[in-house]
Amino acid sequence: MSLVINKRYDKLNKVWDVELIGEVDIYTATDLKGEFTKMLDEKKESIKLNAEKLEYIDSTGLGVLIGVLKKLKEGEKDIIILNIKPSIKKLLHITGLDKIFIIEG
C-alpha cells in the first residue's frame, strides 16, 4: 500500500493539519520526512496529525516522527496525533512514545 499525505496550514490556530492515509514504512518514510521538512522550512509550527486512515507505521516511520518532534521541541512545539487506530496506539504505548507525543481521541 502507498501513502497519501494531505496537509494544510491553519493560519488561525497556527498549526499544520496533516492527514496520513495508508502506510508509513521503509518505502514511504522518506516521502513523509521530505514533506515534513518542507512544511517546517515554511513555518515551524505544531503538527496536528490525523491518523484515522493510517493503517500501519513501522520503526522507520516512528523514527521520522521522532526526528520531526525533536526539531519542533526546539521551538516548544508539538506533534498532536488524533484519531489513532487501536493497533497503532498499542505500538506507541509499548515503545513508550505515547509519553512524548500528544495523543487525542
For residues 17-37, one letter each, b for 16 or more C-beta atoms within 10 angstroms of the residue's C-beta and e for the rest, the string is: ebbbbebbbeebbeebbebbe
**What pLDDT score was predicted for residue 105?**
73
C-alpha cell at 79: 506533534
Percent of the chain at pLDDT exceeding 70: 99
Percent of the chain at pLDDT exceeding 90: 98
Residue 63 has pLDDT above 90, yes or no: yes
How does residue 70 score in pLDDT terms, banded at 50, 70 and 90?
very high
What does the pLDDT look like over 10-55, one tens digit per residue?
999 999 999 999 999 999 999 999 999 999 999 999 999 999 999 9
Across the chain, mean pLDDT equals 96
Residue 88 has pLDDT above 90, yes or no: yes
**What pLDDT score was predicted for residue 102?**
96
Q: What's the CATH fold of domain 3-104?
A: Transcription Regulator spoIIAA (3.30.750)
Asked if 20 and 50 touch (Cβ cutoff 8 Å), the reply is yes
